[in-house]
């Protein structure tokens, strides 16, 4: 079975600074997709960024980028120029041949002034 591990329960970053959230996963599949989802307090989960495993190039979406290390099974999220609105729970998620998402336990990100 696939597993996703997020070892940082909480992280804090100052506004305008950069923060990196860690994620590792375990799978025997060769074709899979990885995601970072954001869940603001009392609001619904939204997709931040996705990465296809067959792509060597790291995905970027504006201030959000990933460092995908396939051999190490590592998938970290970098948030640049952090904003107050970035404060949320961030979940790393995996999907392979099955359609379901397997999530990590999440990292709570605080953004301070």
Partner 1 sequence: DTGVSQDPRHKITKRGQNVTFRCDPISEHNRLYWYRQTLGQGPEFLTYFQNEAQLEKSRLLSDRFSAERPKGSFSTLEIQRTEQGDSAMYLCASSFGGGQVYEQYFGPGTRLTVT
Ramachandran area for residue 25 (φ above 0: left; ψ -120 to 50: alpha; else beta): beta
Interaction of residue 77 with partner 1, rule CB under 8 A: no
**By rule CB under 8 A, what count of residues binds partner 1?**
22
Interaction of residue 50 with partner 1, rule CB under 8 A: yes
Provide the b/e sequence for 68-94 (b: ≥16 CB within 10 Å).
Answer: beeeebebbbbbeebeeebbbbbbbbb
Q: Tokens for 27, please give them.
A: 């799978």
Minimum distance, C-beta of residue 47 to partner 1, in the bound complex (Å): 5
Interaction of residue 45 with partner 1, rule CB under 8 A: yes
Instruction: Find the part of the chain contacting partner 1 (CB under 8 A) among 10-18, 45-53, 54-62, 67-75.
Output: 45-53
- For partner 1, the closer CB: 53 or 79: 53
56 Cβ partners below 8 Å, 6+ apart? none
Residue with tokens 């949320």: 88
Interaction of residue 47 with partner 1, rule CB under 8 A: yes
Positions touching partner 1 (CB under 8 A) are: 4, 33, 37, 43-47, 50, 52, 91, 93, 95, 98-106
């Amino acid at each position: 079975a696939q597993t996703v591990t997020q070892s940082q329960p909480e992280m804090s970053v100052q506004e305008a600074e950069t923060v990196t959230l860690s994620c590792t996963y375990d799978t025997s599949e060769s074709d899979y997709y990885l995601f970072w989802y954001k869940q603001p307090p009392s609001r619904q989960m939204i997709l931040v960024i996705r990465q296809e495993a067959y792509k060597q190039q790291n995905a970027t979406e504006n201030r959000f980028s990933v460092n995908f290390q396939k051999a190490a099974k590592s998938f970290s999220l970098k948030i640049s120029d952090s904003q107050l609105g970035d404060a949320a729970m961030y979940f790393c998620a995996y999907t392979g041949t099955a359609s379901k998402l397997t999530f990590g336990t999440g990292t709570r990100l605080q953004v301070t002034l």
